[in-house]
Amino acid sequence: MKKVIIIGATSGIGRELVKLYAKSGALVGATGRRGDLLYTLQLEYPNNVLTECFDVTSQENIAHLELLITKMNGVDLLLYNAGYGEPSDKLDWEIDRKTVNTNVNGFLTLVNYMFNYFEHQGYGHIAATSSIASIRGSSRAPAYSASKAFMSTYMEGLYIKAKKRNVSGNAEKKIVITDIQPGFVRTKMANGYGKFWVAPVKKAASQIFTAIEHKKWRVYITHRWWLIAKLMKWMPEFIYIRIG
């Protein structure tokens, strides 16, 4: 039985991914801040879902993660799906602080721990939900785009580290890295932005599930956001300033 931990599983994409993995027969460890929502997941899939309630910005997140791994008797895949972002047109410090604590500090603490855990185990898969917003800065939410860029760049560093490690190893004993870059998905996170090509949560989760199972290195959700990613990356500064 495959063992999967999803960080940030109480709503949206994370919750839908818990359901997809549970239906596939995996044992899923679901985490989040809202215990009542985690409890309903466990009730829906009593044989496939275990839960651990904690905030990724807390000082005890590693202890909670270790407890969940113990409950599951191991883990094969960790998906970091926790995230925070709000428009900050007036550069609100509280928004920026909460964004960095969730998207940088919480992410780094747990993903760093899991890479070393999988290194010791000899294999494993780490996936993380960054964003199309990681490609360039945003005047509407500077901390959000910067924090997602940190996530994506860190994941690329782990990808390279894993590739070097995997060169001479057993094909079945590899560490796999997947950077997931969604565009707009119909969740609370998309509020406050000029939105287009908004994907339903189920469609986004289905594409993420498939990409992870195929061990993709980087995936854009939905797939047509690949075009936007390329346009944003190479767009001249004078044009991007008008829209960014």
- 25-65 pLDDT, tens digit each: 999 999 999 999 999 999 999 999 999 999 999 999 999 99
pLDDT digits (tens, 9 = 90+) for 120-178: 999 999 999 998 777 776 778 889 989 999 999 999 999 999 999 886 556 567 999 99
Helix, strand or coil, per DSSP, at residue 36: helix
| Count of domains for the chain | 1
Write out the residue range of the structural domain in which residue 130 sits.
3-243
| Token pair in block for residue 222 | 């939905």
- The pLDDT-based confidence of 22 (bands split at 50, 70, 90) is very high
What would the mean pLDDT of 12-25 be, rounded to a whole number? 96
If you write DSSP's letter for every residue of 130-181 in order, what string do you get? --GGGSS--SS-HHHHHHHHHHHHHHHHHHHHHHHHHTTS-TTS-EEEEEEE
- Does this model's pTM top 0.85? My answer is yes
CATH number at residue 150: 3.40.50.720
| Token pair in block for residue 215 | 């061990």
Q: Which residues neighbour 198 within 8 Å (Cβ) at sequence distance 6 or greater?
A: 184, 185, 186, 190
pLDDT of residue 241: 62
Higher local confidence (pLDDT), 234 or 1: 1
pLDDT of residue 141: 84
